[in-house]
Structure 1
Amino acid sequence: MRDITSKQITLRTARAVASIFCSTETISLIKNNELPKGNLFDVARAAGFLGAKLTPQLLPHCHPVNIDSMDISFSFSKTGIEILGEAKSIGRTGIEMEILTAVSIAALEIYDMLKPVDTQLEIGNIKLLQKTGGKSDRKKYFSTSPSCAVLVCSDSTAAGKREDKSGLLIKSILQQANAKVVAYEIVGDDKELIQKQVLKWVAEDIHFIFTTGGTGLGPRDNTVSAVSEILERDADGITEAMRNFGQMRTPMAMMSRAVAGSIAHSLIVTLPGSTDGARESMEAIIPGIFHARKMMKGGGH
């Protein structure tokens, strides 16, 4: 099964539809409650719920999800019966397969109950109408690609004694999220150098500035204090999300002193210097963080 441990836990929704094509005589029998097997829609709805819950047992690559809400409704059309399913889940993966299974099983149950009275039954038009949550929502956070800069804060890397890995990883993650990385620099663990570079990028109106390194408790971990001194507004929720996401993966995440906030119309986020810490922190805040630019420009929520 695909590894989904890096995904954020978000609200996921899905809507799906299926159709049963039957004769007008059959529809009359349903409306008059004259079917030999009794009530049609209550049984079909229950079958759909059971089908949704069993989806991971039927589809080998489908991850189990919590079904937090599900409804299946039925309506008559000129050609038969339409089944509409809607579901919600808070988790790391979508719920579209569960709702597609639900309407499919509900259709099969209706088929089974109608087959004694209609030999021309047909199931069709099974399709997903809508899904939200996860990657499908990324476009709503920005209309154009945001500009980003990455600042590596490390004495050893600046001196050429160590190869940068976390900064390059952050660049790659941003590019995969369709952001433009317009600047990348390496400086030593010096407050003045860090502040000078960050303020230079703010003056250039770079939308998002990510630093890596200097967020721990070491004697030369100066990034947090350097950035904190020049922030105009704090954005503690960003770092809370990063630490919470990391804490679910390693107890070391609680050691991070990372800060985030804005200067003018630029958002600055300090990230750990380890590749795992940087990756997990980025996974925690991308793509939602890109919405900050609109807010800083006065666009509201």
Structure 2
Amino acid sequence: MAKLSHYDEAGQAHMVDVSAKAETRREAVARAFVELSDAVLAALPQNPKGNPLEVARFAGIQAAKKTAELIPMCHPLALSFVDVAARVVEGGVEIEATAATVAGTGVEMEAMVAASVAALTVYDMTKALDKGIRIREVVLVRKSGGKSGEYLRK
């Protein structure tokens, strides 16, 4: 049975030592969904704060680079690539964030933080029209590289 890697034998939280792990190319993709009313969706192009989807894209990219500052046990990583796409779909905005690195640990958290912050930015940019906006389904879609290999959400 697998154990939680961020705890020592005494049950104390600690940062995992990844110094012995091989540096390999690692990539992760995460998604988030921002549920918006039809009225908010119709108003997106006229937003006085600017294009909410483009601002969310930049916010997600910036957030991925700050993941280690936000998540206490995350390792600071030199990211090779970060991309965030935000697109209007039925019922809201779908966000997909991709992060990649060549390192001894993965980039799942960077992708998840990017998707989450991009979703929060869509909320921030549209909240004047509706306080009932919901952010949901922040999930890891896939990851590759490292000891645990490939993961693909079913």
Instruction: For residues 75-103 of structure 1, give each alpha carbon's deviation from its aligned partner in whole angstroms, at most 9, with x where no partner exists.
Output: 22221110011121101000010010001
Structure 1 match to 2:6: none
| Number of matched pairs | 136
Instruction: For residues 90-145 of structure 1, give each alpha carbon's deviation from its aligned partner in whole angstroms, at most 9, with x where no partner exists.
Output: 0100001001000100111110010001222000100000011112228xxxxxxx
- The AA in structure 1 aligned to 2:42 is S
- Is the CA contact 2:64–2:82 (under 8 Å) kept in the aligned structure 1? no
Instruction: Give distance in 1, aligned partners of 2:122 and 2:139.
Output: 18
* 1:27 alignment partner, one of 41, 45, 64: 41
- Is the CA contact 2:56–2:86 (under 8 Å) kept in the aligned structure 1? no
Structure 2 unaligned spans of 5+: 1-14
Instruction: Give distance in 2, aligned partners of 1:93 and 1:137.
Output: 12
- The AA in structure 2 aligned to 1:10 is T
* 2:114 alignment partner, one of 76, 84, 102: 102
Could you state the TM-score of these two structures normalised by the residue count of structure 2? 0.84
Could you state the TM-score of these two structures normalised by the residue count of structure 1? 0.44
- Is the CA contact 2:84–2:96 (under 8 Å) kept in the aligned structure 1? yes
Structure 1 match to 2:25: 11
1:36: Cα distance to partner? 2.5
Structure 1 unaligned spans of 5+: 139-301
Higher RCO (CA < 8 A, seq sep 6+): 2
1:60: Cα distance to partner? 1.0
Higher helix share: 1
Counterparts of 1:1-301 in structure 2, within 5 Å, are 1-30=15-44, 33-137=45-149
Instruction: For residues 167-218 of structure 1, give each alpha carbon's deviation from its aligned partner in whole angstroms, at most 9, with x where no partner exists.
Output: xxxxxxxxxxxxxxxxxxxxxxxxxxxxxxxxxxxxxxxxxxxxxxxxxxxx
Aligned CA RMSD, in angstroms, stands at 1.2
Runs of 4+ aligned residues of structure 1 deviating over 2 Å after TM superposition are none
Higher strand share: 2
SS at structure 2 position matched to 1:108: helix
- The AA in structure 2 aligned to 1:55 is T
